[in-house]
């Protein structure tokens, strides 16, 4: 499977009367893009707004961040399956990407209506959170969109995400006649003489358990979001967005899945330190204990049958999920697959000698710390206010989410900060 | 500024004698003695050992209160910037005494540092509260240990930043989140490359295995036993009158179930951020099986059901807090002479 990924860097975004890319400048026509979104009868309101790096802007509520990509040669479309896009196998041919720019999905639509699982991500372009989130350095083209209220929550989810993908497709299409700054070929040929084989195991949350609905909207694999047994993907498929769409935490977006630094490192060092043989997405947040115990063994067996000698294991976020991915590490080690686990830490009990992991097991002998939001000097408990808001001017906060505050004002830092793909350089250390 | 230092030694290292002198009460002498003179020579004019506390190990461990009172009076008199205790190497009782002295100093706002071998029980007992520098097992390493203590004490006294435990050579007190010179992804794949190629690597998070909870002895006769019901499934009275949270609770809630034959979905619901609440809200007996327990009670299988239920949403609760809440519930159950508890997790 050979994929050429052509990069078209964006150094400036201008609002204008047409949508075009030339010499690093992306001109967008916000009204025309909004009109295209509004042509979907499910959509009630839509507008396009721009947040540029260095601006004192907060974007709220953020459901997803998407990198504009487009398949220009070879089978399928990028971000396949989700929102009823074609389900053709991707990962070969040529894909163009606009780097340095994103489409941000801004909407009040919640993931499902079973409660608790609120959208809470906001992006600060400046300040402590601006420094830590990987989106503040991008030109963020925000699709502020709401669907008609009478629609079912699943339909609303797909409608607003489709709106973002419509804009993303339209922007990526501007690369058609331009020259890329770089074309990189991703192929992963087997080495001779052979090197140890490694896989990337990625826990990926399904909201089926919390919503009670197998069709619930969340991170999709070729459009599927339900709890299912692990799959094997060629890493190139990840670059084409075979796994895409948001989860409820800051770092689990379409953009981070397509720009995963762990994946980049695995590609870079293929043929040098090891052979990178595949990606295994493992669905998480199972309900019963025996399911939680079993899913790790299923995943380890698949890695074993792919010939893996080693695995790097991570996941999007969450406690149930951490318990499940720790079981994958355990199962891999028991089958002789050497695993490295990338995880955040909860250091709140460490002065009392309490483990910073939810489920410490002895097989966890190669852990990489991504730090955590709590107890870190990098992220104060209260984030400063901003000059301008894109999205909703007020937001609901509080334990019971019944207190309204101005979005532009100072407010609590995000409750979960799980940099599980390793964008930053935080680390937990013994002191 | 010359840093004022008080040095703590046991009877043996102070030259008072071995086990036969281990009962000697704490005494304070002016200036350095024995290894304290080595300490003074290393400090040079940067620090002054203004006094030495000497105590028998048995006295320090058996008459701790009296020893600490005498030590406190001496600290008031010497007014040190830093207390240095030991090094105690692998002498267990000495190590414990060094930890106590360090803790006393810190409680009075005086910086403190001790030194001992990492398997000395003083480390397990006091290492989270007092800086304890790691030493070898025997006094043959006295010079290295005292040199390390002198440098560290000066750092403490001057308010200089104390680096990570591994770099500074002290026993772990806590964890902090800091910045690494290397990005996370790079560190992760470096570690993977090392591990699959059989090269050495260093994990970044120590695995602290959880406490093993010894189960209570089995209930001998269930037909006379009093059983309490506890759930972490987020059971709340319908409408959430107490405004409970859906996770990470500050407290647990108790409700009377006296005379109640089952939990009714009209009166109760689930409010929990970690699972689909619909099923449990329709039939709350899924998260607290009162109906089933009443049947067992009627049949005489179970003696009686304790009239108060305990509930909270377990999701997202850090271990120390969960420990505290659990201990509070256990205390209440013991006080009410409950024989057993059914704990329903979700």
Phi-psi region of B76 (alpha: psi -120 to 50; beta: other; left: phi over 0): alpha
Question: Distance between CA atoms of A222 and A241, rounded to whole angstroms?
Answer: 8
Residues on chain A touching B207 (C-beta within 8 angstroms): 355, 357, 360-362, 364-365, 367
Residue B275 reports pLDDT greater than 70: yes
| CB-based contact B193 A351, cutoff 8 Å | no
| CB-based contact B191 A368, cutoff 8 Å | yes
Alpha carbon separation from A44 to A84, A154, A169, A186 (Å, rounded): 20, 16, 21, 41
Can you tell me the ipTM of this complex? 0.97
Do residues A64 and A245 make contact, with C-beta atoms less than 8 angstroms apart? yes
Do residues B169 and B133 make contact, with C-beta atoms less than 8 angstroms apart? yes
Question: Distance between CA atoms of A119 and A110, rounded to whole angstroms?
Answer: 6
| CB-based contact A428 B274, cutoff 8 Å | no
Q: Does A350 touch chain B (CB under 8 A)?
A: yes
Burial class (CB in 10 A: 0-12, 13-18, 19+), A264: middle
Q: Does A431 touch chain B (CB under 8 A)?
A: yes
Q: Does B273 touch chain A (CB under 8 A)?
A: yes
What tokens appear for A88 in the block?
């053709």
B276 vs A210, A273, A399: nearest CB: A210
Q: Quick one: CA dihedral A166, A171, A175, A177, positive or negative?
A: positive
Residue A375 reports pLDDT greater than 70: no
| CB-based contact B179 A426, cutoff 8 Å | yes
Q: Please, which residues 206-245 of chain B have a Cβ atom closer than 8 Å to chain A?
A: 206-210, 240, 243, 245
Alpha carbon separation from B30 to A239, A257, A431 (Å, rounded): 73, 67, 34
Do residues B205 and A428 make contact, with C-beta atoms less than 8 angstroms apart? yes
Residue A381 reports pLDDT greater than 90: no
Residue A374 reports pLDDT greater than 80: no
**If we measure between CA atoms, which residue out of B31, B49, B14 comes closest to residue B150?**
B49
The kind and range of the H/E element at A296 are: helix A289-305
Helices (H), chain B: 35-43, 57-62, 64-78, 92-107, 121-126, 142-157, 165-168, 184-196, 278-282, 290-298, 319-335
Omega before B87 within 30 of 0, i.e. cis: yes
A280: phi then psi, degrees, rounded to nearest 5: -120, 105
Alpha carbon separation from B130 to A177, A188, B141 (Å, rounded): 67, 52, 22
Question: Distance between CA atoms of B137 and B23, rounded to whole angstroms?
Answer: 24
Residues on chain A touching B315 (C-beta within 8 angstroms): 319
Instruction: Compute the average pLDDT of residues A357-366.
Output: 94
Q: Does A381 touch chain B (CB under 8 A)?
A: no
Helices (H), A4-120: 30-38
Instruction: Compute the average pLDDT of residues B115-129.
Output: 96
Mutate to test the interface with B, among A270, A286, A345, A354 (most CBs of B within 10 A): A354
Among A222-226, A325-329, B212-216, name the one with the lowest average pLDDT.
Answer: B212-216
Q: Which residues contact A72 (CB under 8 A, 6 or more apart)?
A: A6, A93, A94, A95, A96, A175, A176
Phi-psi region of B125 (alpha: psi -120 to 50; beta: other; left: phi over 0): alpha
By three-state DSSP, how is residue B50 classified?
strand
Q: Dump pLDDT digits (tens) for B150-183.
A: 999 999 999 999 999 999 999 999 999 999 999 9
**Model confidence at A114, in pLDDT bands (50, 70, 90)?**
confident
| CB-based contact A430 B172, cutoff 8 Å | yes
Residues on chain B touching A350 (C-beta within 8 angstroms): 174-175
pLDDT for residue B316? 84
CB count in 10 Å sphere of residue B48: 17
Do residues A313 and A347 make contact, with C-beta atoms less than 8 angstroms apart? no
Residues on chain A touching B238 (C-beta within 8 angstroms): none
For tokens 């807090």, name the residue.
B321
Q: How far is B206 from chain A, CA to nearest CA, in Å? A: 8
Half-sphere exposure of B77 (CA within 13 A, CB side): 15
By three-state DSSP, how is residue A246 classified?
coil
Q: How far is B57 from chain A, CA to nearest CA, in Å? A: 27
Question: Distance between CA atoms of B138 and A330, rounded to whole angstroms?
Answer: 39
Beta-strand pair A197-205/A310-315 = parallel
Q: Please, which residues 159-178 of chain B have a Cβ atom closer than 8 Å to chain A?
A: 162, 164-166, 172-178
Residue A319 reports pLDDT greater than 90: no
Mutate to test the interface with A, among B161, B171, B196 (most CBs of A within 10 A): B196
By three-state DSSP, how is residue B285 classified?
helix
Could you give the dihedral angle defined by the CA atoms of residues A345, B235, B305 and B322, in that order, rounded to the nearest 10 degrees? 20
CA angle A365–A368–A369, rounded 5-degree value: 125
Q: Please, which residues 175-204 of chain A have a Cβ atom closer than 8 Å to chain B?
A: 196, 198
Residues on chain A touching B167 (C-beta within 8 angstroms): none
B74: phi then psi, degrees, rounded to nearest 5: -65, -40
A399 vs B173, B188, B245: nearest CB: B245
What tokens appear for A222 in the block?
């070729």
Among A26-30, A410-414, B150-154, B329-333, name the one with the lowest average pLDDT.
Answer: A410-414
pLDDT for residue B213? 86
B220: phi then psi, degrees, rounded to nearest 5: -70, -45
Q: Dump pLDDT digits (tens) for A227-282.
A: 999 999 999 999 999 999 998 889 999 999 999 999 999 999 999 999 999 999 99
| CB-based contact A196 B197, cutoff 8 Å | yes
Q: How far is A277 from chain B, CA to nearest CA, in Å? A: 14
Residue B1 reports pLDDT greater than 80: no
Q: What is the CA radius of gyration of chain A?
A: 21
Instruction: Compute the average pLDDT of residues A319-334.
Output: 95
The rounded percent of chain A whose pLDDT value lies above 90 is 87
Average pLDDT over chain B, rounded to an integer: 96
Instruction: Compute the average pLDDT of residues A308-336.
Output: 96
CB count in 10 Å sphere of residue A150: 8
Q: How far is A224 from chain B, CA to nearest CA, in Å? A: 19
Beta-strand pair A338-343/A20-22 = unpaired
Domain boundaries, chain A: 3-412
B35: phi then psi, degrees, rounded to nearest 5: -65, -15
Residues on chain B touching A365 (C-beta within 8 angstroms): 203, 207
Phi-psi region of A361 (alpha: psi -120 to 50; beta: other; left: phi over 0): beta
| CB-based contact B178 A426, cutoff 8 Å | yes
Residues on chain B touching A427 (C-beta within 8 angstroms): 177-180, 184, 187, 204
**Model confidence at A373, in pLDDT bands (50, 70, 90)?**
low
Q: Which residue of B has its CA nearest to A210?
A: B276
Mutate to test the interface with A, among B188, B240, B314 (most CBs of A within 10 A): B188
Instruction: Compute the average pLDDT of residues A310-330.
Output: 95
Question: Distance between CA atoms of A275 and B185, rounded to whole angstroms?
Answer: 17
Residue A416 reports pLDDT greater than 80: no
**CATH fold of B3-168:** Rossmann fold (3.40.50)
Mutate to test the interface with A, among B123, B194, B204 (most CBs of A within 10 A): B204
Q: Does A340 touch chain B (CB under 8 A)?
A: yes
pLDDT for residue A348? 83
Q: Please, which residues 299-338 of chain A have a Cβ atom closer than 8 Å to chain B?
A: 309-312, 319-320, 338
**If we measure between CA atoms, which residue out of A117, A90, A105 comes closest to residue A143?**
A105
Q: Which residues pair with A281 in a beta bridge?
A: A202
A4: phi then psi, degrees, rounded to nearest 5: -100, 120
B212: phi then psi, degrees, rounded to nearest 5: -90, 125
| CB-based contact A261 B172, cutoff 8 Å | no
For tokens 């400048």, name the residue.
A25
Q: Dump pLDDT digits (tens) for B65-98.
A: 999 999 999 999 999 999 999 999 999 999 999 9
A262 vs B182, B185, B203: nearest CB: B185
CA angle A184–A189–A193, rounded 5-degree value: 135
**If we measure between CA atoms, which residue out of A99, A109, A344 comes closest to residue A203?**
A344
CB count in 10 Å sphere of residue B282: 11
Q: How far is A325 from chain B, CA to nearest CA, in Å? A: 16
Q: Does A297 touch chain B (CB under 8 A)?
A: no
Mutate to test the interface with A, among B118, B184, B190 (most CBs of A within 10 A): B184
Beta-strand pair A123-124/A57-60 = antiparallel
| CB-based contact B184 A370, cutoff 8 Å | yes
| CB-based contact A429 B178, cutoff 8 Å | yes
Average pLDDT over chain A, rounded to an integer: 95
Omega before B185 within 30 of 0, i.e. cis: no
Domain boundaries, chain B: 3-168, 222-344
| CB-based contact B188 A116, cutoff 8 Å | no
Half-sphere exposure of B38 (CA within 13 A, CB side): 16
Question: Distance between CA atoms of A10 and B337, rounded to whole angstroms?
Answer: 71
Burial class (CB in 10 A: 0-12, 13-18, 19+), B168: middle
Q: Which residues pair with A316 in a beta bridge?
A: none
For tokens 């709106």, name the residue.
A163
Size of interface A-B (CB pairs under 8 A): 211
Q: Which residue of A has its CA nearest to B180?
A: A425
Question: Distance between CA atoms of A351 and A356, rounded to whole angstroms?
Answer: 10
Q: How far is A60 from chain B, CA to nearest CA, in Å? A: 22
Q: Does A134 touch chain B (CB under 8 A)?
A: no
Question: Distance between CA atoms of A5 and A186, rounded to whole angstroms?
Answer: 8
Residue B29 reports pLDDT greater than 80: yes
pLDDT for residue A405? 97
CA angle B331–B333–B337, rounded 5-degree value: 115
Question: Distance between CA atoms of A75 and A73, rounded to whole angstroms?
Answer: 7
Residues on chain B touching A319 (C-beta within 8 angstroms): 274, 315-316
Q: Which residues contact A30 (CB under 8 A, 6 or more apart)?
A: A15, A47, A48, A49, A50
| CB-based contact B166 A366, cutoff 8 Å | no
Task: Tell me which DSSP letter residue A155 carries.
Answer: H
């Amino acid at each position: 499977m050979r994929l050429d990924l052509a990069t078209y860097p964006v150094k400036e975004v201008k609002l204008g009367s047409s949508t075009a890319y030339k010499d690093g400048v992306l001109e967008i026509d916000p009204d025309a893009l909004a009109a295209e979104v509004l042509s979907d009868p499910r959509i009630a309101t839509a507008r396009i707004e721009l947040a540029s790096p260095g601006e004192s802007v907060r974007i709220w509520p953020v459901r997803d961040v998407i990198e504009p990509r487009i398949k220009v040669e070879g089978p399928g479309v990028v971000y396949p399956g989700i929102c009823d896009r074609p389900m053709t196998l991707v990962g070969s041919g040529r894909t163009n990407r606009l780097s340095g720019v994103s489409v941000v999905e801004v909407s009040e639509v919640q993931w499902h209506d079973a409660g608790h699982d609120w959208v809470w991500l906001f992006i600060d372009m400046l300040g402590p959170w601006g420094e830590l989130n990987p989106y503040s350095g991008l030109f963020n083209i925000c699709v502020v969109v709401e669907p008609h209220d009478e629609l079912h929550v699943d339909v609303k989810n797909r409608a607003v995400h489709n709106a973002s993908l419509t804009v993303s497709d339209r922007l990526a299409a501007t690369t058609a006649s331009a020259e890329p700054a770089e074309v990189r070929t991703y192929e992963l040929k087997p080495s001779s003489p052979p090197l140890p084989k490694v896989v990337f195991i990625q826990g990926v949350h399904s909201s089926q358990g919390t919503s009670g609905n197998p069709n619930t909207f969340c991170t999709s694999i070729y459009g599927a979001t339900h709890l299912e047994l692990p799959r094997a993907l060629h890493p190139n498929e990840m670059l084409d967005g075979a796994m895409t769409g948001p989860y409820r935490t800051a770092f689990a977006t379409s953009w981070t899945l397509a720009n995963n630094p762990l994946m980049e490192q695995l590609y870079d060092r293929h043929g040098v330190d090891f052979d990178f043989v595949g990606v295994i997405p493992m669905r998480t947040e199972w309900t019963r204990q025996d399911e939680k115990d079993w899913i790790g063994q299923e995943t380890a067996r698949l890695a074993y049958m792919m010939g893996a000698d080693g695995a790097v294991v991570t996941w999007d976020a969450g406690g149930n999920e951490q318990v499940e991915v720790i079981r994958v590490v355990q199962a891999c080690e028991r089958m002789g697959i050497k695993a490295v686990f990338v995880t955040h830490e909860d250091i709140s009990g460490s002065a009392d000698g309490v483990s910073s992991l939810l489920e410490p097991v002895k097989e966890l002998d190669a852990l990489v710390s991504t730090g955590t939001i709590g107890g870190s000097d990098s992220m104060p408990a209260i984030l400063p206010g901003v000059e301008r808001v894109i999205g909703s001017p007020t937001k609901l906060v509080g334990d019971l989410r019944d207190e309204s505050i101005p979005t532009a004002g100072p407010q609590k830092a995000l409750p979960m900060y799980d940099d599980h793909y390793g964008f930053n350089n935080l680390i937990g250390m013994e002191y | 500024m010359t840093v004022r230092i008080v040095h703590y030694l046991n009877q043996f290292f102070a030259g008072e004698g071995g086990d036969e002198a281990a009962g000697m009460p704490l005494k304070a002498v002016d200036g350095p003695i024995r290894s304290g003179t080595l300490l003074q020579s290393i400090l040079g004019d940067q620090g002054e050992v203004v006094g030495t506390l000497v105590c028998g190990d048995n006295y320090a461990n058996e008459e701790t209160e009296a020893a600490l009172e005498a030590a406190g009076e001496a600290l008031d008199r010497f007014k040190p910037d830093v207390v240095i205790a030991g090094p105690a190497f692998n002498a267990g009782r000495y190590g414990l005494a060094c930890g106590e002295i360090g803790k006393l100093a810190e409680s009075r706002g005086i910086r403190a540092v001790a030194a001992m071998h990492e398997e000395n029980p003083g480390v397990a007992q006091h290492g989270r509260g007092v800086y304890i520098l790691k030493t070898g097992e025997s006094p043959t390493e006295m010079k290295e240990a005292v040199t390390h203590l002198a440098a560290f004490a000066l750092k403490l006294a001057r308010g200089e930043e104390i680096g990570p435990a591994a770099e500074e050579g002290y026993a772990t007190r806590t964890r902090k989140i800091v910045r690494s010179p290397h990005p996370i992804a790079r560190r992760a794949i470096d570690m993977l490359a090392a591990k699959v190629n059989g090269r050495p690597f260093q994990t970044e998070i120590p695995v602290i295995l959880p406490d093993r909870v010894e189960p209570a002895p089995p209930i001998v006769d269930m037909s006379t036993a009093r059983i309490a019901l506890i759930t972490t499934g987020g059971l709340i009275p319908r409408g959430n009158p107490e405004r409970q949270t859906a996770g990470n609770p500050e407290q647990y809630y108790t409700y009377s179930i006296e005379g109640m034959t089952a939990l009714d979905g009209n009166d109760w619901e689930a409010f929990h951020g970690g699972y689909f609440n619909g099923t449990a809200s329709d039939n709350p007996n899924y998260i607290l099986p009162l109906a089933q327990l009443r049947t067992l009670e009627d049949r005489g299988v179970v003696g009686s059901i304790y009239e108060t239920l305990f509930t909270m949403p377990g999701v997202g609760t850090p271990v120390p807090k969960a420990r505290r809440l659990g201990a509070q519930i256990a205390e209440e159950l013991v006080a009410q002479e409950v024989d057993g508890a059914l704990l329903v997790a979700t």
